Structure 1
Amino acid sequence: MTLAACSVEVVQDDPEGSDAGTSDGDTAGGDPTSQGIEAADDTAPPRRTVGRDDAGAAMLDRATLGSRATQHLTCDGGDLRVENAAVAVVVGDACGTLTVDGAGALVVAGDVERLAVSASSVRVVVASVSSVDLDAADVRVAWEDGDPAVRDGGAGNAYGPVGTVELGLPEPGVPDPGTDPAAGGAGTAGSDR
Structure 2
Amino acid sequence: MELYKIPQDVERADKLVGPLTLKQLITCVVGGTLAYSIYVSFAPTTPAIFWVPSVLIILLLTLAIAFLKINHLTFPRVILLLIESAINPRKRYWVQMAGNLNIFQTVNLTASLEEKERVKKEKKDVLKIADIGQISQILDTAGNSPQLNESVQKPVVTDELADEMADITGQAKSEIVNKFKTMQSTST
Q: Where is the helix percentage greater, Structure 1 or Structure 2? A: 2
Is TM more than 0.5 here? Answer: no
Name whichever structure is richer in strand by fraction. 1
Structure with the greater relative contact order (CA < 8 A, sep ≥ 6): 1 or 2? Answer: 1
